[in-house]
């Protein structure tokens, strides 16, 4: 992955040219006269902070969004892409950050859905899937059901679904956000081979080291306009970041590793059989998080993170009350509100519906978990205090929104994430449990969130971060471990481990007493609660 892309010649024919693409939404100019060109066999990065216009531009290419003005030229001919089906017929494929697969269908059945009438012979399609996936080093069993696949394998299905067609341009939205380091290397080998065979690739990512290693050219958007372009192999990641966020925003920091003080969160022998047929059983989890430290839990999605977070937050109570301890005593039987009263703050994995109510204003969403900080007095809401709290979140975390009355669903994912993170941190919790704190957040916002987490740590809070971003965990965690198939790896000081070792843990390559059979432990199923 560390070998820069340096063999690209810019005089290649253009596969796609976009001129003056403009798209106006109510109150937002998403794309403002954007120019972009992608050559045959080029891996082209599209960079920009949240709200910069990347999503609108790539959805325009794929036929989901119709531009208000501008011109698109496809392989030398002017064209208006009507819809995604039209895009696919042209040879344009797109892999979204959130996969669009049916878990109860097989690999072949999922791919057939995208092909429509071209998939009448399922046996022939299955054979083609085997051949194509093996050819590009992404071997798949066409008969396996999607629910039995790892996240990395599911991404393979999405990519192979494009490759079984006559693919000429492949659009990838944050493709490495859910992969282990080993899977990232495999993906990059595949993408380089595709490019060598003439396929063009549009690569959207916030991970600038990956962009530097993989991409031939990069176009940077800021505020809906093109703010710069570069050859990533010739740029320092900080230089690309400056193009994205401007000169006045800090973009990266190195944080001193510390040793925590007294244990705040103690987990002993936490086992739970998942009620979800596609869920993961927790297997004898043992974990300590000390006051004044950040512990990071790495892992590929679908390995028990959701179940562990639900147990720690109180969404599900635990029959074995002693399995989860705060300094006040066992809390496994307590609901989320009572755990919050004892010092817990929580950032869930899912923003809309769990972290925030889509149809409620930011002010009301601030009240949802901030009510314990003096926003409710004698049963009555203090509306001015609530407004002040919401404004403080918006200003301190640079949430891009017209005002605090804006509905949560109208914010970009990154801006909503900043609001949720700020809401929890500004309550000064004694224990913060956060899932994917900077997922989908641009580099400037990620730096601000990291700094806020470090400041909270230095005030003496215990912090547990669950993330699929291994680079982030190495940057901010004082100690590290990984979760695989519901079992927890050994926990080591960050300075005493390596990217390769944690990657192995993420793949289940560890031996520990935690890897006991969950069925041999007590089945711990309690009633669900709203967090």
206 & 285 share domain: no
Secondary structure, 3-state, 210-272: HHHHHCCEEEEEECCEEEEEECHHHCCHHHHHHHHHCCCCCCCCCCCCCCCCCEEEEEEEEEE
List the one residue out of 111, 136, 145, 114 whose CA is nearest residue 126: 111
Give a yes or no: residue 510 inside a domain: yes
375 & 438 share domain: no
Query: pLDDT-based confidence at 50, cuts 50/70/90?
Result: confident
Tell me the per-residue pLDDT of 106-123, one tens digit each, with 9 for 90 and over: 999 999 988 877 677 899
393 & 484 share domain: no
Give a yes or no: residue 356 inside a domain: no
41 & 7 share domain: yes
Last residue of a domain, one of 426, 443, 477: 426
Last residue of a domain, one of 399, 426, 453: 426
Q: Tell whether pTM > 0.75.
A: no
- Distance, CA of 56 to CA of 259 (rounded, Å): 44
Percent helix / strand / coil, the chain, rounded to 5: 35, 25, 40
More confident residue, 294 or 446: 294
78 & 175 share domain: yes
- Distance, CA of 481 to CA of 334 (rounded, Å): 26
How many Å separate Cα 130 from the centre of its chain? 29
439 & 336 share domain: yes
Total of domains in the chain = 4
435 & 531 share domain: yes
Give a yes or no: residue 354 inside a domain: no
Say if residue 423's pLDDT is above 80.
yes
498 & 433 share domain: yes
124 & 213 share domain: no
More confident residue, 144 or 96: 144
Query: pLDDT-based confidence at 5, cuts 50/70/90?
Result: low
Mean pLDDT, the chain, whole residue set: 87
With contact defined as beta carbons under 8 Å apart, do 452 and 444 qualify?
no
76 & 116 share domain: no
With contact defined as beta carbons under 8 Å apart, do 155 and 175 qualify?
yes
Query: pLDDT-based confidence at 162, cuts 50/70/90?
Result: confident
Give the pLDDT of residue 92.
Answer: 94
Say if residue 275's pLDDT is above 50.
yes
C-alpha distances out from residue 116 to 29, 110, 198, 321, Å: 35, 11, 26, 52
Helical segments of 426-469, H only: 443-458
> Cβ atoms within 10 A of the Cβ of 160, count?
23
Percent of the chain with pLDDT over 90: 55
Give the pLDDT of residue 24.
Answer: 92
77 burial level (CB within 10 Å; 0-12, 13-18, 19+): exposed
Lowest mean pLDDT segment, chosen from 140-144, 147-151, 392-396, 506-510: 147-151
- Distance, CA of 325 to CA of 388 (rounded, Å): 34
- Distance, CA of 409 to CA of 407 (rounded, Å): 5
Say if residue 518's pLDDT is above 70.
no
Query: pLDDT-based confidence at 164, cuts 50/70/90?
Result: confident
Secondary structure, 3-state, 294-308: EEEEECCCCCCHHHH
Last residue of a domain, one of 426, 445, 472: 426
125 & 78 share domain: no
Give a yes or no: residue 139 inside a domain: yes
Length, in residues, of the chain:
531
Mean pLDDT on 315-323: 87
- Distance, CA of 122 to CA of 130 (rounded, Å): 12
Domain containing 22: what range? 1-91+168-181+198-248
Lowest mean pLDDT segment, chosen from 63-77, 210-224, 436-450, 485-499: 436-450
438 & 525 share domain: yes
List the one residue out of 258, 421, 465, 427 whose CA is nearest residue 344: 427
Residue reference for tokens 């049963």: 379
Give the pLDDT of residue 100.
Answer: 79
Tell me the per-residue pLDDT of 209-241, one tens digit each, with 9 for 90 and over: 889 999 999 999 988 999 999 999 998 887 888
Give a yes or no: residue 193 inside a domain: no
């Amino acid at each position: 992955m560390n070998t820069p892309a340096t063999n690209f010649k810019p005089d290649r024919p253009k596969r796609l040219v976009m001129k003056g693409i403009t798209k106006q939404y109510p109150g937002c100019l998403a794309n403002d006269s954007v120019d972009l060109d992608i050559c045959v066999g080029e891996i082209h990065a599209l960079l920009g902070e949240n709200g910069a216009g990347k999503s609108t531009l790539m959805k325009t290419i794929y036929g989901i969004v119709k531009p208000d003005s501008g011109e698109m030229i496809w392989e030398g001919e002017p064209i208006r892409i009507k819809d995604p089906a039209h895009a696919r017929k042209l040879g344009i494929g797109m892999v979204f950050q959130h996969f669009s697969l049916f878990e109860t269908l097989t690999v072949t059945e999922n791919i057939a859905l995208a092909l429509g009438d071209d998939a009448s012979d399922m046996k022939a399609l299955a054979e083609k899937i085997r051949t194509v996936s093996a050819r590009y080093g992404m071997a798949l069993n066409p008969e396996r059901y999607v629910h039995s696949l790892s996240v990395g394998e599911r991404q393979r299905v999405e990519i192979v679904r494009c490759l079984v067609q006559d693919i000429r341009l492949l659009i990838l939205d944050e493709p490495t956000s859910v992969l282990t380091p080993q899977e990232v290397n495999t993906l990059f080998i595949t993408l380089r081979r595709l490019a060598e065979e003439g396929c063009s690739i549009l690569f959207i990512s916030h991970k600038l080291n990956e962009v530097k290693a993989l991409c031939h050219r990069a176009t940077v958007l800021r505020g809906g306009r093109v703010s710069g372009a570069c050859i990533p192999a010739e740029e320092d990641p900080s230089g690309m970041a400056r193009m994205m966020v401007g000169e006045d925003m800090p973009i990266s920091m190195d944080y001193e590793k510390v040793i925590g003080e007294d244990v705040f969160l103690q987990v002993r022998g936490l086992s739970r059989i998942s009620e979800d047929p596609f869920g993961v059983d927790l297997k004898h989890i043992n974990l300590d998080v000390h006051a004044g430290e950040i512990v990071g839990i790495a892992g590929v999605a679908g390995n028990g993170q959701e179940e562990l977070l639900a147990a720690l937050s109180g969404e599900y109570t635990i029959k074995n009350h002693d399995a989860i301890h705060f300094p006040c005593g066992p809390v496994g039987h307590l609901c989320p509100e009572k755990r919050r009263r004892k010092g817990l703050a929580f950032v869930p994995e899912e923003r809309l519906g769990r972290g925030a109510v889509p149809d409620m204003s930011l002010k009301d969403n601030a009240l949802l978990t901030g009510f314990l900080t003096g926003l409710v007095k004698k049963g009555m809401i203090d509306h001015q205090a609530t407004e002040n709290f919401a404004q403080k979140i918006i200003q301190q975390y640079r949430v891009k929104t017209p005002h605090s009355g804006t509905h949560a669903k109208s914010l970009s994912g990154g801006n909503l994430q900043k609001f949720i993170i700020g809401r929890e941190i500004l309550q000064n919790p004694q224990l913060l449990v956060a899932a994917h704190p900077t997922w989908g957040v641009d580099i400037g916002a990620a730096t601000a969130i990291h700094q806020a987490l470090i400041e909270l740590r230095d005030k003496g809070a215990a912090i547990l971060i669950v993330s699929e971003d291994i680079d982030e965990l190495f940057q901010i965690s004082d100690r590290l471990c990984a979760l695989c198939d519901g079992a927890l790896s050994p926990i080591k000081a960050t300075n005493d481990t390596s990217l390769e070792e944690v990657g192995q843990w993420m793949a289940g390559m560890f031996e520990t007493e935690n890897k006991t059979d969950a069925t041999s432990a007590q089945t711990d199923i309690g009633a669900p609660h709203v967090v």
